Amino acid sequence: MMTLSRSMLMILLCAALAALGVLYLDTARSIVAIWNSSETFAHGYIILPISLWLIWKRRDALRSTAPAPFWAALALLMVCGAGWLLAELADVQVVRQYAFVAMLPIAVLAICGYRMAALIAFPLVFLLLAVPFGEIFIAPLINLTADFTVWALQLTGIPVLRDGVNFTIPSGNWSVVEACSGVRYLISSFTLGCLYAYLTYRSTSRRLLFVALSILVPIVANGMRAYMIVMIGHLSGNTLAVGVDHLLYGWIFFAVVIFVMFWIGSFWREDGAAPSVAAQPQRTVAAPGAGRFAVAALAVMLCAGIWPSLAAHLERAAPDKPAVDLNGLQPAWAPAAAFAQWHPSFAPASAEVTRAVSNGSDNAAITVLYYRDRPQGAGLINSENRLLKAKELNWSAGLTAKRNVSVGPHTLVVRETQLRGAGGALLVWQWYWINDQFLENDYLGKVLQARGKLLLGSDDGAALFAYAPLGEKPDTARAVLGRFVNDNLPAIEATLSRNLRQAVR
């Protein structure tokens, strides 16, 4: 039996990791593309070098540990692969990315064994921070920042008139936009906090406590930053903290806050204490033969390679489908002139239709965007699909809430948003239709799309927007939309269902 050298183990491990990179090259490219396009996730470039440096620091302990393949890790690899496939079918980019990156430490575990993997557990898990995740927190952080700022202004004695994330004080109008959410500070603080906690502390409780602080501190600090920016603008007659200095001040303030947090954390540092493992002599365990590691590396490649192959097979096996036809969508109300120059900022649909209608004194409109077999990142549900463009100048979004609407014996759940623009104000109800089901939840929608793609070969779905003029009383607009939905939803549903039946024949 041929003995295993460390260099041979490294060759096998690198070959397996390189194979994962080739098999999931498109997913890896999507991660790098986001690093390039978003300053929020530009730190992703340094995650791998930091992980390699942390592993290098453990080189002496790794040399004294005998490797042994850990076959149970192959089951974890299969789970990640299955998760990647489902995310591929439902076009959930972040899940695809996490599944791929998680395969890398699992491959190390499978080939080198749990003893060696345990020594470098943190550097391996730290790789997950390379995945560009965090945009889901933008909306709640915006609301939280607006809540804090308005509360602090009122506490200061300044009167505030608030409309969603927009508010007015005597000296001017302010709005908490995406750049003010603090998500960049939060992600940066969390990443640095994890690294600092690992290098500075030994006890798990101290590490977890500091990581928790690295999440809490930037959220509170961002609220304070927003409040102080408004106060600086208010006290200076809106001559300071309203342009480039607005952002510059934010990063300077954040750097000071993080420095203070690390400085306080240094008082409880434990990095000088040696791990208590030298009390008992350890037995020297001989490594298995090289053949077992070669089999482990090959098994990793096979377990990971199944899923891209299956995804390609499902894509080739999908039958050709007819074009989507929404021309037959004729609401029960009479056609009317358009009353708003607004269109949702969604990816181009396979087909779309907008109808403005009237029922005597009631005016409403419906926009339907139908999606079928769209490219990745351009489907029905993705983070880029919004009611308004990221830097919309003509419209602003106010309050958003979930609302239950009675439609005959059933209940329709919609997402209600107030939009205000130069041409007036709108009350918008938004919901989805996916595989003959109406729903509002993005996550459930992705599950239904994955199930439809897997079982029916169809990811058909539509985004629906019903809207009406918003006057002084939102309940009046809600009543109009309620009547419109009750009168017209059956005709809309019939048109959507007809297209679905044609797609799954």
What percentage of the chain reaches a pLDDT higher than 90? 44
Distance of CA 392 to the CA centre of its chain: 21
- The C-alpha atoms of residue 193 and residue 201 are separated, in whole angstroms, by 11
Q: Is the pLDDT of residue 270 over 50?
A: yes
In angstroms, the CA 255 to CA 248 distance is 11
- Say how many C-beta atoms besides its own lie within 10 A of residue 260's C-beta: 12
DSSP code string of 57-89: HTHHHHHTS-----TTHHHHHHHHHHHHHHHHH
Q: What is the pLDDT of residues 337-394, one digit of tens each?
A: 888 889 999 999 999 999 999 988 889 999 999 998 888 878 898 888 889 887 777 8
Looking at residues 152-171, what average pLDDT do you find? Answer: 87
Question: Helix, strand or coil for residue 150?
Answer: helix
Whether the CB-CB separation of 448 and 420 falls below 8 Å is answered with: no
Distance CA 345, CA 389 (A): 6
Spatial distance between the Cα atoms of 463 and 343, rounded to a whole number of angstroms? 12
What is the Cα 267 distance to its own chain's centre? 35
230-262: pLDDT as tens digits: 888 888 876 765 554 555 566 677 788 888 888
DSSP state at residue 164: T
* Residue 298 structure tokens: 């090959």
The values of phi and psi at residue 70, to 5°, are -115, 95
Radius of gyration of the chain (CA): 28
Token digits for 18? 């390189």
Q: What is the mean pLDDT of the chain?
A: 86
- Sheet with 172-175: list strands edge to edge: 161-163, 166-169, 172-175
Partners of 418 in the β-ladder: 427
pTM: 0.82
pLDDT tens column, 297-325: 999 999 999 999 998 888 776 667 778 87
Which residues, 6 or more positions from 37, have their beta carbon under 8 angstroms from its beta carbon? none
More confident of the two residues 379 and 108? 108
Three-state secondary structure string covering 183-243:
HHHHHHHHHHHHHHHHHHCCCHHHHHHHHHHHHHHHHHHHHHHHHHHHHHHHHCCCCCCCC
Q: What confidence category does residue 273 fall into, taking pLDDT thresholds of 50, 70 and 90?
A: very low
Cβ atoms within 10 Å of 62's Cβ, excluding its own: 16
Q: What angle do CA 403, 405, 406 make, to 5 degrees?
A: 155
Cα–Cα distance list, 466 to 389, 451, 478 (Å): 18, 27, 10
